[in-house]
Chains A and B, each alone.
Chain A
Amino acid sequence: MNESDGAAAESGRARAAATDRLLARVIREESARIVAALTGWLGSLDLAEESVAEAIEEAVRQWRTAGVPPNPGGWLTQAARHNALDRLRREKRYREKLALLADPAEAAPRAGTNEPDERLPLLFGCCHPALSPDAQLALTLRAICGLTTAQIARATLAPESTVAQRIVRAKRKIGAAGIPLRIPEGSERAARLGVVLTVVSVMYSEAHLVAGADAAADRDLADDALWLARVIAHELPREAEAQGLLALLLFHRAREGARAVDGELVLLADQDRARWDRRLIAEAQAVLETAAMLRRPGRWQLHAAIAACHSDARDGGDTDWLQVLTLYDMLLAYDRSPIVRLNRTVALAEVDGPEAALDEVDALRPALTGYHLWHAVRARMLRHVGRRDEAMAEDLRALELTANDAERRLLEARVDR
């Protein structure tokens, strides 16, 4: 391939990527509202979601070449309604339902009204604790964010048939087990919102964990997660943790440009902070302040506060580690997971020295011995206390355990040094 072919291919790719982004933006704005409206009309989430998913696949195919029509929501609603009626006519078990349906015009999402957002009840149903975490994520990606099954499979590196089966089973369970599509009230609200926010956070990290892949997916799950965090925070303005998660994802998103440079990972301490997106950081700080004013602290707000400390520092050396460690100690009251404790050891090493941190890292061995970053953190502590050979062995072990290409190259560079 000569140089100009290369450039042409490059610009072709750039155009396609822009179109993928545009499709993602347009479709996820519409998907959940149409699924919710159709579910109300048909009385079946399974049928409604299937009909919308089919319409979205058709839209992705057509719009990728022909462009997005002027009223994409109307286009999708009409196509989904058509698909639903088609299915009802074909399938015996649905046929008697057909006569009972109201005017299909009823099955249009209400846009621009002051009605409470119908997407949130659907989201709480998709993230019901009676569904497995994998199913919660897959169903949320499809029904709420409007990803096709193939896009979910590529973005999460799961076989397409597995994803499809997960979604079908989850939808059938919602119908058969009577899982309500409703925002829980009262004492149930906090725990259920916790599940929803966890799904969004997993969605964000999934974008970075895709093993072996270098961004082959045509949907950026991190962008979808940030969008969804915004929807939730906007619809539930009194829920401090919803604001907390949005702030956290904004802080992370702001570092994105410095975190990966030319496809290579850069650790937080080494990142060029001039590449951080100051506009996103300012937004994150504002959202975190809003959360704090609600006076209901929680794990996502603390995670965000830790991220804020890093954003405040001019460079790695300027970080207020005592503040970071204090926040981690507060976080332990909400989240004692081994990963949080491991991340805390990095702050502990800065405040109390590497020996104290190494003891804590070693205490986590049983829980994290299969996790590559435990070995990477332990290597770093060992190097600080001068146990270089052991540090090298841990780096090699980390390398063996990582499945992500970019992380592998980062660790290789460390072993080579």
Chain B
Amino acid sequence: MTLHELQQACAALRDEAPARIAAADSLDAWHELRNTLLGRKSGRLTELMALLPQLAKEERREAGAAVNALKQTLEAAFDARKGELEATASRGPTLDLTMPSRASWRGAVHPVSLVIDEIGDIFRELGFTVALGPEAESPWYNFTALNFPDNHPAMDMHDTLYLKDGGVLRTHTSPVQVRTLQSYAPPVRILAPGNVYRRDFFDATHAPAFAQLEGLAIDEGITFADLKATLAHFARAFYGQRTPTRLVPSYFPFTEPSGQMEVFFDVGDGRGARWIEIMGCGLVHPAVLESAGLDSERYSGWAFGMGPARIAMSRFSITDIRLFYDSDVRFLEQFA
């Protein structure tokens, strides 16, 4: 072996190696090729190195440098190729990333509850907590304590569902007012969500039972102006800050003065924006405070009641209230 022959062998290896390295199309092929060329026992380069001692001493240095340079070149090429192959491997085989995910079932809060929660969030910021009361209620809490005169038409069998053992299914959440005022000393600021019952037959806009949301604020010095401002604040928070609001006269036995809060709003029924009643309200009637044993000269306050189902109907463009009760999963899943 001459220096010249060794140099030729190096050149041949340098010429053929890049194509072969590039042709290694898997990590296995890469390992095999690297072993063939650079393997410590039988690699071609190793074989060339093994020839060095056969050279003349003065040629050995030059030849050694050439072989080492080649080794470095090849190792760099192998490293680069390995990086490419690894990158390809990490992307995996032919995976179609547009295939659907493995989903879990999505649950949903009922649309009427969504509205109750949203209203509740606004009033929570104003210091309100949640109170509850029974749906099977005594006539005293449902009517008498709320200043309904005897023989009020609402107490009629045509409007109220009576229980066999003397109770009624509450016709509104207002009994919670008196129960709460009997249980807790003012200041009282509560929301009372719950189901109420009327002797209404089902149709697209009426149901025999529906959700109501009652609000009550009692303390010394609470005024009708505060009611108006607070409920207008609520209405703007709920319907949008630019929504016009107005408070107009109304009547309920348990409030005096009474009003209804209205917003100028497009409920999406195709009739355009108009004044929509969103709640009945008023200063709590002195007789109601007295029902709970409060001094009506010292304490005052306001109350309101609203129907979340009606709001949910306009918010979600639902035209038949019966959908809220049917519990059709195809309806419910839309609120997930």
Partners in one complex: no
